[in-house]
Amino acid sequence: MIVELTPTNGRKSFGGKAKIVTQNNVSELQSYNTIVARYFHETNKIDIYGYFSQTTASHINAFLSYYGFETMTKKEIENYGNKTQI
């Protein structure tokens, strides 16, 4: 299943540049053509693969919010990259 992610910052849309692709109880955030985060439904955990750009950070924060997690600052995303799941 593919769902277009909607912004949480007041914008109307991401113009199709942020999608959630779900299969086998894992949802991947695709920002442009890159997987930048994954949500594991069975464990309620998220992996974030680093800070790419301000736009991608907006996508990551909308993804976090979509699954009920707190949003992050640039520094938090940078420090998070590929560490333990939240």
For the stretch 31-42, what's the b/e string if a residue is b when 16 or more beta carbons lie within 10 angstroms of its beta carbon? beeeebbbbeee
d(CA 84, CA 4): 27
3-state secondary structure of 67: coil
Give this prediction's pTM.
0.89
Residues 13 and 7: their CA atoms lie apart, in Å, by 6
Phi, psi of 60 (to 5 degrees): -60, -45
- Condensed to tens digits (0 to 9), the pLDDT of residues 53-66 reads 999 999 999 999 99
pLDDT digits (tens, 9 = 90+) for 68-86: 999 999 999 988 765 545 5
